[in-house]
């Protein structure tokens, strides 16, 4: 476990900046930054930008000075590097284009939602997650456009996120009801969007609920990422709950993983099972083993 800092060489605001990263975990990185009184606004998805004047002090505090190539290699090897295509700045235009397709002429509402998904306290439930869910819906629809209510539910499903399970989904549904009524949507469609948002609290749609199955599968598609991407997801989730002590988080997270492994089916659509089921089960069991918690399919 190490904190690395490269040579300050990135110009901005009348100085040059270095990158501060962890080669192990975002929790370690955030703890080091907090102890060094680096502001949260300096965090940029997988690193902190720190001005040249802080470089020597951070090295004294234990950061290891390396060149830029070494730092980049270590970040990639850790699995924590956020790919360029998933970074917030790269997603602004694609998200705006998708919003215009789903609800033309409502740019202000689209900007509000993107702003909510960009709140600084978020680490996993960000615009990258929103974009991933929308992309997963497209994959599940297999070239056909998903129903508009399902796409709108994806946009709203974590629009309110304070880390309160159940309450966040309810508040997001209430926000969808208020904003979509104001946008002039028919009451039946507004009700359907809100219903779908509430389903993401437990991901248990009925067998006849095609829209619910699409949304729940898309929301859980992250579980079927390849191991490096799944590791980045788990680190982002831990960072969102950095205020929770390790022992309490591990117990809570193990319960979540057991609940997910107990879902039958975990993915409701045939396409979702083809794309993500096998890898998802492997990822969930591997994470449980890493937590040291007995899980479904593992001996106590």
Burial of residue 232, with CB atoms counted within 10 A of its CB: 0-12 exposed, 13-18 middle, 19 or more buried: buried
What mean pLDDT is reported for the chain?
Answer: 93
- In a domain? residue 129: yes
- In a domain? residue 298: no
Assess whether 261 and 200 both reside in one domain.
no
Q: How many CB atoms lie within 10 A of CB 74?
A: 20
Residue 250 has pLDDT above 70, yes or no: yes
What local confidence, expressed as pLDDT, does residue 17 receive? Answer: 97
Residue 35 contacts residue 70 (beta carbons within 8 Å): no
* CATH number of the domain to which 92 belongs: 1.10.3210
Residue 154 contacts residue 137 (beta carbons within 8 Å): yes
> pLDDT tens for residues 9-22?
999 999 999 999 99
Residue 71 has pLDDT above 90, yes or no: yes
- In a domain? residue 300: no
Confidence of residue 295 (pLDDT cuts 50, 70, 90): very low
User: How many C-alpha atoms does 4 have within 13 Å on its Cβ side?
Assistant: 22
Residue 300 has pLDDT above 90, yes or no: no
Spell out the residues 6+ positions from residue 212 whose beta carbon is closer than 8 angstroms to its own. 195, 196, 199, 205, 206, 268
Residue 296 has pLDDT above 60, yes or no: no
Mean pLDDT of 128-148: 91
Confidence of residue 84 (pLDDT cuts 50, 70, 90): confident
Confidence of residue 39 (pLDDT cuts 50, 70, 90): very high
- As a residue count, the chain comes to 300
What is the distance between the alpha carbons of residues 56 and 209, in angstroms, rounded to a whole number? 58
Assess whether 169 and 142 both reside in one domain.
yes
Domain boundary residue, one of 189, 204, 219: 219
Q: Considering its fold, how many domains does the chain have in total?
A: 3
User: How many C-alpha atoms does 56 have within 13 Å on its Cβ side?
Assistant: 1
- In a domain? residue 124: yes
65: containing domain: 3-81
- In a domain? residue 296: no
Assess whether 184 and 95 both reside in one domain.
yes
Domain boundary residue, one of 81, 97, 130: 81
Confidence of residue 143 (pLDDT cuts 50, 70, 90): low
Domain boundary residue, one of 49, 81, 113: 81
Assess whether 157 and 209 both reside in one domain.
yes
């Amino acid at each position: 476990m190490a904190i690395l800092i490269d040579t300050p060489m990135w110009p901005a605001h009348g100085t040059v900046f270095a990158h501060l990263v962890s080669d192990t975990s975002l929790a370690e990185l955030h703890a080091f930054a907090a102890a060094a009184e680096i502001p949260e606004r300096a965090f940029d998805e997988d690193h902190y930008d720190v001005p040249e004047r802080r470089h020597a002090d951070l090295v004294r505090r234990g950061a290891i000075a390396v060149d830029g190539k070494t730092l980049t290699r270590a970040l990639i090897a850790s699995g924590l590097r956020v790919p360029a295509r998933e970074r917030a700045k790269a997603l602004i235009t694609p998200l705006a284009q998708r919003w215009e397709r789903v609800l033309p002429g409502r740019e202000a509402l689209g900007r509000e939602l993107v702003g909510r998904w960009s709140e600084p306290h978020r680490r996993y439930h960000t615009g990258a997650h929103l974009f991933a869910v929308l992309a997963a819906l497209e994959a599940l629809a297999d070239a056909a456009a998903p129903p508009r209510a399902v796409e709108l539910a994806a946009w709203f499903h974590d629009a309110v996120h304070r880390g309160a399970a159940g309450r966040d989904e309810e508040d997001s549904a209430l926000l969808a009801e208020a904003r979509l009524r104001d946008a002039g949507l028919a009451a039946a469609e507004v009700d359907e969007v809100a219903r779908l948002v509430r389903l993401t609290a437990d991901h248990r749609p009925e067998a006849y609920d095609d829209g619910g199955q699409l949304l729940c599968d898309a929301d859980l598609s992250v579980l079927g990422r390849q191991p490096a991407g799944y590791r980045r997801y788990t680190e982002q989730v831990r960072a969102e709950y950095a205020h929770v002590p390790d022992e309490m988080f591990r117990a809570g997270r193990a319960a979540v993983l057991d609940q997910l492994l107990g879902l039958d089916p975990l993915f409701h659509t045939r396409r979702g099972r083809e794309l993500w089921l096998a890898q998802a089960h492997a990822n969930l069991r591997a994470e449980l083993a890493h937590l040291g918690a007995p899980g479904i399919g593992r001996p106590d």
